[in-house]
């Protein structure tokens, strides 16, 4: 069954849009539904996959860019609300998105002067952020159609997306086979398992770029959100937002989030790093790294009572306070996304790591396996 295009490319807040027959059903709740969301210019179908758990909380992901389009979780009163920025229709994502909800690769964040050297050979990348490369280039992983496969198991809807990035794509060496599996649990946890292999040594840094507002997308700014980041150090940046190579202590600076602190408490301090980022747009060096996802950050929104925890196996996390949103983009329901109306917590290796030997290496060897896991967990607190 194929839905007509007009009917398929609208997403409603309650997930009430008619869909193709669910691919799976566990009891009355846990399921994965598929529907048509749009078309690419060459006619290929863009599909939206909605995973719903037994609590009726849900996440919707499309195969174009692996984008998290919707994420509906309860507030302290039990009312479901969408907490990620995005659009109601597919057609805006290729041209208007600021990486909303997208898979980022081959290299998340920035590479200085859009070049790096590997085994004595220099590779030049797309200059899509001034003189630098940003988020994989002009046509990064967020602008490609991934192959989708249902890999659900009883009680846990799951979606696997795979993509072959060919040797030389965006300037990167090696044929890279990438896969990301999204799993949505009854505990309101969104788990992302990333894997990749290559036939030639390359650099890889995959992440997700969801914009969160725990009060609800489009519901004001995030300055009252409180955040904890388990990091004693961060990587300061130059005027182009490229790390200087220093690992600077957070103690005594506006970057000390080792205890829950309101995002707006120090964001306007007279600090050179804040001025360069227009607020927070920095990588934090996580204190704990293990093969089991460790707590990296916690976010609390006082009004709704929603709490988000981020666990990861990665060594860093980019905290971005939505500084470059300016109200020119209208998202779901026509809401204007204004400055600091959302935050990002991108788990990652450090920006510009290929040009900093003292940073954790992002080199993926031929026939080796790249793996990491990040979990976004949602809960509530009482008033």
Quick one: CA dihedral 284, 288, 293, 296, positive or negative?
negative
Give the residue from 93, 90, 68, 66 showing the smallest Cα distance to 6. 90
Distance CA 22, CA 178 (A): 26
Annotated active-site residue 356? The verdict is: no
Distance CA 254, CA 263 (A): 10
* Residues near 265 by beta carbon (within 8 Å), at least 6 away in sequence: none
Give the residue from 372, 69, 72 showing the smallest Cα distance to 192. 372
Annotated active-site residue 209? The verdict is: yes
C-beta atoms surrounding 380 within 10 Å: 18
Distance CA 120, CA 127 (A): 21
Contact yes or no for 71/83 (Cβ under 8 A): yes
Contact yes or no for 338/220 (Cβ under 8 A): no
Q: Which helix (H) or strand (E) holds 275?
A: helix 272-277
Catalytic residue among 142, 189, 219, 346: 346
Token pair 């959100």 is at which residue?
Answer: 225
Give the residue from 80, 79, 78 showing the smallest Cα distance to 70. 80
Catalytic residue among 209, 282, 349, 372: 209
Q: In sequence order, what are the beta bridge partners of 161?
A: 148, 180
* Residues near 270 by beta carbon (within 8 Å), at least 6 away in sequence: none
Distance CA 16, CA 2 (A): 17
Token pair 């081959």 is at which residue?
Answer: 106
Catalytic positions, please?
A: 209, 346
């Amino acid at each position: 069954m194929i839905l007509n295009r007009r009917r398929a490319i609208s997403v409603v807040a309650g997930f009430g849009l008619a869909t193709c027959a669910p691919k799976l059903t566990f009891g009355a709740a846990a399921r994965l539904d598929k529907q048509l969301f749009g078309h690419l210019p060459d006619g290929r179908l863009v599909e939206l996959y909605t995973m719903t758990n037994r609590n009726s909380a849900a996440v919707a992901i499309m195969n174009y860019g692996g984008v998290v389009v919707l994420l509906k979780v309860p507030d302290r009163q039990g009312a479901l609300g969408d907490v990620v920025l995005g659009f109601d229709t597919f057609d805006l994502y290729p041209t208007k998105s600021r990486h909303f909800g997208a898979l980022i690769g081959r290299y998340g964040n920035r590479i200085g002067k859009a070049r790096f050297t590997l085994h004595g050979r220099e590779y030049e990348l797309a200059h899509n952020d001034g003189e630098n490369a940003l988020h994989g280039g002009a046509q990064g992983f967020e602008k490609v159609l991934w192959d989708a496969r249902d890999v659900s198991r009883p009680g846990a809807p799951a979606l696997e997306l795979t993509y072959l990035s060919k040797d030389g794509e965006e300037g990167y060496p090696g044929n890279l086979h990438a896969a990301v599996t999204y799993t949505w649990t009854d505990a309101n946890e969104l788990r992302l398992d990333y894997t990749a292999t290559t036939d030639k040594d390359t650099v890889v840094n995959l992440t997700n770029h969801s914009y969160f507002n725990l009060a609800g997308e489009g519901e004001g700014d995030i300055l009252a959100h409180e955040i904890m980041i388990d990091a004693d150090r961060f990587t300061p940046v130059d005027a182009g937002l490229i790390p200087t190579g220093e690992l600077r202590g957070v103690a005594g600076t506006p970057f000390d989030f080792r205890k829950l602190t309101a995002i707006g408490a120090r964001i306007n301090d007279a600090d050179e790093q804040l001025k360069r980022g227009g607020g927070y747009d920095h990588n934090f060096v996580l204190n704990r790294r293990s093969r089991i996802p460790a707590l990296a950050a916690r976010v609390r929104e006082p009004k709704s009572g929603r709490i988000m925890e981020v666990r990861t196996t990665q060594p860093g996390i980019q905290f971005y306070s939505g500084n470059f949103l300016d109200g020119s983009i209208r998202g779901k329901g026509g809401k204007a996304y204004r400055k600091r109306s959302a935050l990002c917590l991108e788990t990652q290796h450090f920006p510009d790591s290929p040009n900093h030997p003292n940073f954790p290496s992002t080199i993926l060897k031929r026939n080796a396996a790249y793996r990491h896991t990040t979990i976004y967990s949602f809960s509530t607190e009482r008033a």
